[in-house]
Amino acid sequence: MSNPDYEKNNYQTKNIANNITLRNWTIAWVVTMAIAAFAPKFIWDFNTSLTIIALVVNLAIGLRMLIANRAYLRGLDEMQQKILLEAMALALGVGLVVGLSYELLEDIKLITFQPEIAHLVILMGITYLLAVISGHRKYQ
């Protein structure tokens, strides 16, 4: 006979472990992104070999972060998965539609500056955050 309290505690323990793992890989990715972005200019004077190494390390840690994210998502219950899946779909859609239109604005001379990917990342992050909040409210 299974013990529901044990299964619940086991689920929560696994969920916490997945969350910590994802947090750690995300922090590592952000740090390596900062190194790849700023070290060439401020630390090693655009040394090509060091810059390539920093970029490859950043990509490898980013891949590991994606794997940790997948494990985190698989460890959630169905309702949480649904909320996050819908939020990700919306963020991706907004990013694609707005990003392409944003790039087009420069091409057709409606803006005089070059579109920055950072603007798109911020928009997608805000969209994702609001969609997660909205999803939690919707399914309460």
**Residue 43 CA to chain centroid, in angstroms?**
27
pLDDT of residue 9: 75
Residue 31 neighbours by CB under 8 Å, 6+ apart: none
Closest CA to 9 of 17, 1, 132, 123: 17
Cα(5)–Cα(107) distance, rounded to whole angstroms?
60
pTM: 0.81
User: Looking at this protein, which amino acid is placed at residue 83?
Assistant: I
| Burial degree of 78 (CB within 10 A; 0-12, 13-18, 19+) | exposed
Cα(57)–Cα(125) distance, rounded to whole angstroms?
24
pLDDT tens-digit series, residues 26-61? 999 999 999 999 999 999 999 999 999 999 999 999
Closest CA to 127 of 97, 100, 98, 87: 87
